[in-house]
Structure 1
Amino acid sequence: MEKCLEAYLEKVEKCLKPLPGSERVDIVKEIKSEMLELQAEGKTAEEVVARLGKPGELAKAYLSDLITKDTSFSWTRVLALCAYYSVAGLSGLFVIPTLIICAPVFMLCGIAAPLLGAVKLVDTALQLGIPGVQYIGVAGVSNPVMVFALCAVFGVALFLAGYGCWQLLVLYVKGMGRVKTGLSL
């Protein structure tokens, strides 16, 4: 088996550490078997990894399946529940705050950039002499029309980036909610 596939399996196993060894070994064997089948179909190692997705996400899916498939109490289920929440919680510590900060900041900057470009254009055209306008610019461009055009383009790009961050946040929260509703002890 190729080195990148072995590394992938190690990452999955690391995410499944809280599970008992037998459960972990079974899951890793199942993933390895799937990898070998895909390679037998002519897929490259990169295609196999791309198809399986991120190791942490695959581990979360297995943990979720393990938790929801049996409704009786067992210590294995308790450990699986702990493992799921540790993986989901740690990713949430970084994903949610980052997206919550980036979405509105990018959107506000996307609105502000063309407005500032318009202020520079109007100030130059009407020779108003508004204080601080000389600092509005894009990478040394001195033509106010070009500054406005570039500010408009950057503004649209920033606004779309902010909107994309917001959509990712909504998808993440909805996805975690769907998985959480399937969890029970």
Structure 2
Amino acid sequence: MNEKATHYLQQLSKHLNQLETQEKIDILEEVESHIFEAVSNGASIDQVLQALGDPKKLAQSYTSEALLKKDSFNLSSMAQLVKFYFITGFSGMFIIPVVGILSIAFYFSAFVVIAAGIIKTIGLFFGYSLPISVMNFGFWQAPDFMVLPICLIFGLLFYVGSKKMWRWLKDYLFSISVAHRKIKSSNE
């Protein structure tokens, strides 16, 4: 087995300590089989491990699934299940709106900053010093001729930041969706 896959399985095993030994072995064999099959079908080990996601989150989804399957009531299992859903729901209340709003704000800011730099530069060609874009960095104010390059740099940073936040938000929502599907299918 590949060194990366072995490390991934070790991390997964570490986070599955709450389960009974046989359940833990079954899960590790299932994941190892999935990795082997995907690599045999031509996927790279990095692609497979990325698709599986964070070993801790994968272990949490397996743990919650195992807890839902148990018929017997025990306080420890109930506490683990409540913890899983509380963390998922609580983080979703803050992560989804904050990252979503920041992603949109950065996206529009990228265009506004670039437009302000262009307007300021056009004004300079006609002899006007438009106060639409003034670059102050503490005590230093950027000269008018440097406003456009600075605005382009900041616009690019805002744009890249918005795309990264958007991708992170989609990955987060996907991981919650996968965990939800696993839990839903175990209830059926």
With normalisation by structure 2, the TM-score equals 0.59
Give every structure 1 segment of 4 or more consecutive aligned residues whose post-TM-superposition deviation is greater than 6 Å.
Answer: none
Identity of aligned residues (%): 23
- Report which stretch shifted further, 23-32 or 75-84: 75-84
Q: Distance in 1 between matches of 2:41 and 2:51?
A: 13
Q: Distance in 2 between matches of 1:174 and 1:46?
A: 18
Secondary structure of 1:116's match?
helix
What root-mean-square deviation, in Å, do the aligned CA atoms of Structure 1 and Structure 2 show?
A: 4.7
**Judging changes above 3 Å, is the alpha-carbon distance between structure 1 residues 167 and 31 closer, same or farther for their aligned structure 2 residues?**
closer
Q: Which runs of 5+ in 1 are unaligned?
A: none
- 8 Å contact kept, 1:63–1:83: no
Q: Which runs of 5+ in 2 are unaligned?
A: 137-141
Q: Distance in 1 between matches of 2:42 and 2:174?
A: 36
Letter in 1 for 2:169: L
Question: Deviations along 1:69-100, whole A, 9 cap, x unmatched?
Answer: x3744448536625744874797699548725
Q: Which residue of 1 aligns with 2:18?
A: 18
Q: Which residue of 1 aligns with 2:28?
A: 28
Letter in 2 for 1:129: S
**Judging changes above 3 Å, is the alpha-carbon distance between structure 1 residues 11 and 86 closer, same or farther for their aligned structure 2 residues?**
farther
Q: Structure 1 residue 114: deviation in Å?
A: 1.9
Q: Structure 1 residue 53: deviation in Å?
A: 4.0
How many residues are treated as equivalent by the alignment? 178
With normalisation by structure 1, the TM-score equals 0.59
Alignment of 1:118-157 (within 5 A): 118-130=118-130, 135=135, 142=145, 147=148, 151=151, 155=155
- 8 Å contact kept, 1:19–1:83: no
